Structure 1
Amino acid sequence: MSACHTVPSMSPSERAHANRIGILWMIVAMTAFIGNDAMIKNLGERLPAAQMIVVRGVMAISLITVVAWKMGALPRIADAARGWVLLRAGFEGVGTFLYLAALFQLPLANATAINLSSPLFIAVLAMVFLHERVDRARWLAILAGFAGVLMVIQPRADGFNAYAWLCLFATLIYAFRDLLTRKVPPATPSILVTLSTASVVWLMAVVVLAWEGWQPMSWRDVGLLAIASVFLSAGYYSVIAATRHAEVSVVAPFRYVGLLWALVIGYVVWGDVPNLLAWCGIALLIGAGLFMMRQQRRR
């Protein structure tokens, strides 16, 4: 079983059904990713990022491989090593390290809000690389969205702000990754794209770990990483399925479910509450994103 592209030849009822399934996948994906981020942020206070990714990766790859076997996808394992799939995974790996470096120093909600500027980056990249037309209204929405990001980042000359900019750069990398997802052949099972992603990120972490060194871990740490691996595996598969199964303009707004979870978890676990300017920026960012998606659906 693999997610498929929503195609124009679908009837309205079939397209609506595919979009509903895609929305559910996106909600699952965002919930899973925030769960993973919360676990990793907590552990990042005492463990190196590469070590966490390596340990979590072993568990995630094992779980994904079993699922791929159960789904009957392993005979096509060569699909996981094809050009677009590997390139996509490489961008995922770079984005992961940049995002985690920022996440360890930022409130969870702030990092998540910055990361949710991805649809704005995608619109600009699609114009540059896919030659998609961006009208005046969408340009205004893009500018408003980036203004919202600046209100969350709140530029100032200190280290905290540097990590916010690093998070924004990670988001740009993730936007490239999302564009590359569209290049993956429709016949390639999503579970194999997931397996390729987890494997490439793990290999990159192994290389980095050689420089960072290994720190002792408690069984509690191992347990939290095991839970994180389940969240990560579910998130990887779900976001790929959502992107490939339904119209991107329909499912993309449901990325903001992740921000709600991040706000709740950030407050409960770390006592983080965004200031008034950040709240205004979050509202502006979400509004711009929703407007962009609405305009896309009209085209």
Structure 2
Amino acid sequence: MTPLVHVAATPDANRRGMFAMLGAMAFFVTNDTLVKIAAKDLPSGQLIAIRGAFATTLVLCWLAASGQIRFVNRVLSPLVLGRALSEGTVAFLFITALAQMPIGEVTAISLITPLVITALSVPLLGEKVGWRRALAVVAGFIGMLFVVKPTGAGFNAGHATILVLLSVVFCAFRDLITRFIDPTIPTLAITLSTCLAVGLFGAAAVPLQGWIVPTWQHIGLLAAASVVLVIGNFCMIQAFRGVEVSLVSPFRYSVMIWALLSGIVVFGEWPDWASWVGMAIIMAAGLYTLQREATRLSRPISAAEATVRTPPS
């Protein structure tokens, strides 16, 4: 069995991870917006299956165009398979719970993922999470609660709540597994495994939910959704490769800001005062984390730290 390789995070990798996470959240919300429009007419399993077929084809073409098609077999690497399995499990648990609970409560519970990742990164990755960074994560979580305003009913929904909490655990493991994947495996190969896993999950649900003949508008929406989904998955994988996951993970909260913008521009849903307060808290927590990282990188470092930050030649 291939041993886990934990490469020390570098400042450049951390910065790349932050911006990749911001981009991933923007692309994922764009995907959700397109799918939401199509979901008025089509079952969820069919949506996922059609979008998965487009996404898988797109990634294969991308691999061929970039000269990386020879890496397709790397999707069978144990950690890549483990990540894909975690991704499929997250989708199954999340969507099953979503059918039984309001989306606000599901979103509120699922976005405790950064807290779980921060907690797991200490024993699993040996990362040091100071109290200031921990408070920034908690502040982002509080801001998210202002935005989604869970009523509390979702937390008392029995087994549905357990499904969401389990999806959070698998989501955290998915992101932590990404941290350990062999750096020689291209991100596109990992993206391919994700598209295949989620697409197969949707296809498995079709016999249970039925099939509705899609219109060309549906096909266009799902084709466009597949493009932004592939880019989003690519950014998400990049966000967790060779970084301090507890530093990058809080930027996941930016998804609420993108979602609010989508609601305003596409669906005409204007946020109330609590949502604006939540957005301000989320942005403040993210900016504070960036400022702390900039301060840490600008201070003089010891010889021991320099050895950790500088990869061997």
TM tier relative to shorter chain? 0.7 to 0.9
Deviation of 1:195 after TM superposition, in Å, equals 0.5
| 1:194 Cα deviation from its structure 2 partner | 0.5
Counterpart of 1:85? 80
User: Taking structure 1 as reference, are residues 59 and 37 closer, same or farther at Cα in structure 2, changes over 3 Å only?
Assistant: same
Which residue matches 2:50? 55
Distance, in Å, in 2 between the alignment partners of 1:250 and 1:220 is 40
Moved more, 158-167 or 195-204: 158-167
Question: Could you tell me which of 113, 120, 130 is aligned with 2:115?
Answer: 120
Separation (CA, whole Å) in 2 of partners of 1:30 and 1:274? 19
Q: How does 1:1-299 map to 2 (within 5 A)?
A: 16=12, 25-99=20-94, 102=98, 106=103, 117-156=112-151, 158=153, 170-244=167-241, 255=252, 258-291=255-288, 298=296
Aligned partners of 1:242, 1:136: CA distance in 2, in Å? 23
Cα deviation, 1:6-33, whole Å, max 9, x if unaligned, reads 96697xxxx54x6665555445433321
- TM-score, normalization by structure 1: 0.77
Shift of 1:54: 0.4
Within 2, Cα distance between the matches of 1:142 and 1:35?
Answer: 24
- How far apart are residue 119 of structure 1 and its match? 2.9
| The 10-residue stretch of structure 1 (149-158 or 28-37) with the greater mean CA deviation from structure 2 | 149-158
**1:203 deviation in Å?**
1.5
CA–CA distance in 1 between the matches of 2:161 and 2:148? 6
Matched letter for residue 39 of structure 2: G
The two structures, once aligned, show a CA RMSD in angstroms of: 3.8
Residue deviations 1:53-107, cap 9 Å, x none? 1001111101101111122222232211111111111222233345556499547
Aligned residue for 1:30, secondary structure, equals helix
| TM-score, with structure 2 as normaliser | 0.74
Cα distance per residue 1:221-271 (max 9 Å; x no partner) = 111001101111111112223432666577656656544432221112222
Asked if structure 2 preserves the Cα contact closer than 8 Å seen for 1:113 and 1:282, the reply is no
C-alpha separation in 1, matches of 2:194 and 2:34: 20
Contact 1:90–1:201 (8 Å) recurs in 2: no
Q: Deviations over 1:119-174 (max 9, x none)?
A: 33321221343354444434444444443344344343557996999767645543
Cα distance in 1 between the residues matched to 2:18 and 2:133: 23
Q: Which amino acid aligns with 1:124?
A: A
Aligned length: 288
Uncovered stretches (5+) of structure 2, i.e. residues with no partner: 298-313
| Aligned-residue offset at 1:220 | 0.7
Over 3 Å counting, the alpha-carbon distance change for 1:37 and 1:112 in structure 2 is farther
Q: Share of identical aligned residues, percent?
A: 38
Q: Which moved further from structure 2: 96-105 or 53-62?
A: 96-105
SS at the partner of 1:182? Answer: helix
Structure 1, unaligned runs of 5 or more: none
Tell me if the contact between 1:119 and 1:289 (Cα under 8 Å) persists in the aligned partners: no
CA contact (8 A) 2:139 2:281 kept: yes
**Whole-angstrom CA distance in 1 between matches of 2:219 and 2:254:** 28
